[in-house]
């Protein structure tokens, strides 16, 4: 099952504004692909949230790959924060010291090609809508350039037509 996900930074803070933090997300997605856990269909990493479309591979269907992904990326980003920034994410819950992602990240199953293409366009248009770039394919932390046939460095992405 192909699924669209959104994870929002706590209180919509600009946790991912720095490119090295976006790179942590990107490297993690690439690892999940290379480790045969997922087929990554599309992604965009914005300053305060991320969207992605993936399909878990058979051996991982019953496992919570999303939870592992969000936990790992939060841990890696925590190492990049200075003490002042870290205070913004201090948590009062007993099971953790810090909280970086909003609870209950959003997901939706892609039931057909039309819905999948709508979400793909939505993801890729995010940086344009946020006035970060003029053209989707110019945003560095998005799969838009892969689909525009301009960037084949994203060799870990699976074209959506190969999965539907």
Q: At residue 15, does pLDDT exceed 70?
A: yes
Share of the chain above pLDDT 90, in %: 80
154 versus 108: which is more confidently predicted? Answer: 108
Backbone angles phi, psi at 18, to 5 degrees: -80, 135
Mean pLDDT check: name the lowest of 16-20, 70-74, 106-110: 106-110
If pLDDT is split at 50, 70 and 90, which confidence band does 151 have?
A: low
If pLDDT is split at 50, 70 and 90, which confidence band does 136 have?
A: very high
With residue 49 as reference, give the H or E element that holds it.
strand 49-56
Domain architecture of the chain: domains with CATH: 2-162 (3.30.70.1290)
Torsion of CA 95, 97, 101, 105, to 10 degrees: 10
**pLDDT of the residue at 93:** 79
pTM summary value: 0.94
């Amino acid at each position: 099952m192909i699924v669209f996900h959104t994870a929002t930074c706590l209180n919509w803070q600009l946790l991912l504004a720095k490119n090295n933090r976006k790179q942590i997300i990107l490297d993690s997605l690439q690892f999940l692909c290379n480790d045969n856990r997922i087929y990554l269909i599309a992604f965009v990493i914005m300053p305060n949230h991320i969207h992605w479309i993936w399909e878990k591979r058979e051996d991982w269907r019953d496992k919570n790959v999303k939870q592992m992904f969000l936990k790992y990326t939060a841990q890696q980003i925590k190492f990049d924060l200075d003490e002042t920034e870290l205070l913004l994410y201090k948590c009062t819950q007993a099971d953790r010291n810090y909280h970086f992602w909003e609870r209950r990240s959003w997901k939706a199953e892609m039931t057909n090609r039309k819905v999948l293409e709508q979400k793909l366009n939505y993801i890729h248009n995010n940086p344009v809508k946020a006035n970060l770039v003029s053209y989707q394919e110019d945003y560095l932390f998005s799969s838009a350039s892969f689909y525009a046939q301009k960037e084949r460095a994203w060799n870990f992405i699976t074209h959506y037509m190969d999965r539907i």
